Structure 1
Amino acid sequence: MSDHELYPIGDAARRSGLSVSAVRFYADAGLVEPTGLNGAGHRMYDIDAIARLELVRTLRELDTGLDEIRRLLEGDTTLHGLLTTHLGIVERQERTLRARRAVLRALIKQGGGTPAQAGLMHKLVSMTDEEREQTIDDFWHDVGEDLDVPEGFVDRLRTMRPVLPADPTAAQLEAWIELADLVTDPGFRDAVRAYLQDAYSTPEARVLATDPFQDFIHVTGAPLMEELLAAYRAGEPPRSPRAQQAVTRFMEAATALSGTPLTPEVRNRMADGYRRIPGILRRLAQDEATSGGPVYDDTHGRYLSLVARINGTAPEDHHDPLPCAWIADAMRDAGPPHPRRPGTEAAGATVITDPPPANGR
């Protein structure tokens, strides 16, 4: 293709990806006029004109208006500025479509819904950040009012709240619709309140809700537990030096909450407690399933699950359960060293004739 060669309208249309009628239209509109006419009076286009026709086609595919294209071609705006403006338009349209998609999916999930429900869902996805914050604040105010739990516990629960990003996915919008619908339902608020009251009514459970214990679980103790789990994931035996160092640090921090020294008896009690955890969880699940009362998965657990989906922090489906038996073996006091039998010492070395206990204990 020569820079000075002129091409008939059919070639210009083919090279720019437009129809002949579209090329004529843009010429008549004053956007891309022909470079000249041939002897028969037919329109002819050079390379520059064909390039501008291709640009017009691209911009029209992005729904750019003719007036905007004219300003660009006349030099009143830049291509970068025009594309930046249209990117913002497309992104706003995308967010709107995602919101509509989330509402439609939620309505279909409910079996079709009603016009009133559709209007409510549109309102929920269109809330401002301040309105969402107020919705969650109102929920926790009602749940926590006169709730018989240790001071500060509800305030800590209140900090676990949804933060919808500026550019949420359809899944995050759907989770927000479900959560907002739940937290504004008086029945759900009563169920969460009843669950928390039942779960933390015993003296042992009330200890779990105190600030020192919660701080240990979620702040100071979390890295210590992670250090212990790292030894487990690395295949370390429970009695290995690495596992013992990690579990000792964890237990010392835990017993420091009550000022209790880490004695062999305390180690064994903690080990027994961890070994009982799987059975306790199974019994709790069975009790919740047969009690007919408020259960975790339907109340506070549902709230936390939706918050995690909205915040993008939902755990993976295939995460490992807590290795309670391994932790219990690591916690258990090993007792005094094995006694040396006569005749087992040679050249200053000690040989243990007894085999090591099973599982390294």
Structure 2
Amino acid sequence: MNDNELYPIGDAARRSGLSVSAVRFYADAGIVEPAHLSGAGHRLYDVDAIARLELVRTLRDLDTDLDEIRRLLEGDTTLHNLLTTHLEIVERQERTLRARRAVLRTLIRQGGTTAQADLMHKLVSMTDEEREQTIDDFWNDVGEGLDVPDGFVDRLRAMRPILPADPTAAQLEAWIELADLVRDPAFRDAVRTYLHETYTTDEWQAMATEPMQEFIYESGGPLVEAVLAAYRAGESPRSPWAQAVVTRFMEAVTAVSADTALTPEIRNRMADAYRRLPDIERQIAEEDAASEDPVYDDTHGRYLSLVTVVNGTGPEEDTLPYAWIADAMRAPDDGA
């Protein structure tokens, strides 16, 4: 286009991607006026006016308000500020639509009622403080009268959902399910019963103590990761690297669980236990499936799995290499 040339309204419309009626409307509204009127009263547009029309078309495609566009073209704001403000609006709309989609998908899946729709809308609209209080109320109720070592319930309470500022639909759906569950008295009773029946036995009572819980959730993590790193690197279970990391892990476990030194006999017992773990896990799963009492996957396990989805952490994908660990655990003078 020639910078000095004037174009009739039809050409201006074609070059800007607008209809003639839209170009005429923006002129009458004082948004983009023609550069010149011919003697016959025809509207003529120069290159600058056509460029402004193109900008108006783009901003209107983004649902930008006409008054905002007028302020921009009159120099009362900058394009950067206008686009930044509009982006914030679009992102708020996106979050709202995502929340609605999560509610609708959950209602469709559950065959929900009007009352459930109202409840789910309230759940996704909760403030951070309201979500925190919902989880605290759950653990306060579950922990009431639970015969476990001091601090155990607080350790469980620390595993809590933290919905991000910009959650995905899956995170919102998980939060809806979790919030609905923790408010349900039947679910609270089931979790309390499972924890009571599990952690009042002699074997599991020790697992609930503060030292063991600290090891499981904090200090033990790096030790387990060091063992897995050796395995992933293709090390032999009897290599110096594997022996060093597995021995450190076993020493820590023995110190916490038995408060004693690691001996060859303890090493071999732990190795035998690790080799049997897959069979034990399968047996527990079969017993849980046949049980009429509350079980892990339906109670505390369900709570934790939903928390991992809400938090975006997800479960560990690695399956523990039980046989490799068992071989590494065995005392050096026993099959080394």
TM over 0.5: yes
1:287 maps to: 287
Query: How far is 1:92 from its partner?
Result: 0.9
Asked if 1 retains the 8 angstrom alpha-carbon contact of 2:305 and 2:315, the reply is no
1:342 maps to: none
Alignment of 1:207-218 (within 5 A): 207-218=206-217
Question: What whole-Å deviation, never above 9, does each CA across 1:268-289 have from its counterpart, x for those lacking one?
Answer: 1111221221121111111111
1:231 maps to: 230
The CA distance in 1 between the partners of 2:262 and 2:203, in whole Å, is 20
The CA distance in 1 between the partners of 2:165 and 2:259, in whole Å, is 46
Question: What whole-Å deviation, never above 9, does each CA across 1:105-148 have from its counterpart, x for those lacking one?
Answer: 0100112x111111111100110000000000000001010111
Alignment of 1:250-261 (within 5 A): 250-257=249-256, 258-261=258-261
The CA distance in 2 between the partners of 1:66 and 1:262, in whole Å, is 77
Find the residue that maps to 1:165 and give its secondary structure.
Answer: coil
The CA distance in 2 between the partners of 1:186 and 1:310, in whole Å, is 22
The CA distance in 2 between the partners of 1:279 and 1:102, in whole Å, is 39
Question: What whole-Å deviation, never above 9, does each CA across 1:55-109 have from its counterpart, x for those lacking one?
Answer: 1111111212222211211112221111111111111111111111011001001
Alignment of 1:63-102 (within 5 A): 63-102=63-102
The CA distance in 2 between the partners of 1:93 and 1:334, in whole Å, is 64
Provide the identity percentage: 77
The CA distance in 2 between the partners of 1:184 and 1:9, in whole Å, is 64
Count of residues in correspondence between the two structures:
335
The CA distance in 2 between the partners of 1:80 and 1:48, in whole Å, is 20
The CA distance in 1 between the partners of 2:332 and 2:85, in whole Å, is 70
| 1:178 matched to 2:152 | no
2:62 maps to: 62
Asked if 1 retains the 8 angstrom alpha-carbon contact of 2:163 and 2:171, the reply is yes
1:161 maps to: 160
1:353 maps to: none
2:313 maps to: 313
Query: How far is 1:40 from its partner?
Result: 3.4
Question: What whole-Å deviation, never above 9, does each CA across 1:11-51 have from its counterpart, x for those lacking one?
Answer: 10011110001001111111111111234331110010001
1:326 maps to: 324
Query: How far is 1:308 from its partner?
Result: 0.4
Query: How far is 1:225 from its partner?
Result: 1.5
Corresponding letter in the other structure for 2:333: G
1:13 maps to: 13
The two structures, once aligned, show a CA RMSD in angstroms of 1.3
Unaligned runs of 5+ in 2: none
The CA distance in 2 between the partners of 1:284 and 1:228, in whole Å, is 25
Corresponding letter in the other structure for 1:330: A
The CA distance in 1 between the partners of 2:234 and 2:91, in whole Å, is 48
1:248 maps to: 247
| 1:272 matched to 2:272 | yes
The CA distance in 1 between the partners of 2:238 and 2:18, in whole Å, is 76
Alignment of 1:114-193 (within 5 A): 114-193=113-192
- TM-score of the superposed pair, with normalisation by structure 1: 0.90
